[in-house]
């Protein structure tokens, strides 16, 4: 008796596990690439954090300027 997978049309899409093991050099290359990507990710996240803080500060300054100009125009019209 054969299974449905063996007789199915997708049997050619099944892939057995690779028997080849990575060499130490290949493992080191993969690790170095992952480390570089993590460093890039950390730098990116720090830059995003800095930009968000800068945006908040600019928004605060803008709202204070608008408040001050509204107060001065109210005082001038009174």
Domains of the chain, by residue range, sit at: 24-77
Q: pTM for the complete prediction? A: 0.53
Answer with the residue of higher pLDDT: 9 or 69: 69
Three-state secondary structure of the chain: CCCHHHHCCCHHHCCCCCCCCCCHHHHHHHHHHHHHHHHHHHHHHHHHHHHHHHHHHHHHHHHHHHHHHHHHHHHHHC
pLDDT tens sequence across 4-56: 555 666 666 766 666 678 899 999 999 999 999 999 999 999 999 999 999 99
Could you give the angle at the alpha carbon of 36 between the alpha carbons of 31 and 40, nearest 5°?
145
């Amino acid at each position: 008796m054969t299974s449905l997978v063996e007789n199915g049309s997708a049997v050619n899409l099944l892939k057995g596990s690779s028997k080849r093991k990575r060499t130490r050099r290949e493992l080191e290359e993969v690790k170095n690439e992952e480390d570089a990507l993590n460093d890039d990710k950390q730098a990116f996240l720090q830059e995003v954090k800095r930009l968000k803080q800068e945006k908040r500060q600019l928004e605060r300054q803008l709202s204070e300027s608008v408040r001050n100009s509204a107060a001065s125009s109210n005082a001038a019209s009174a």
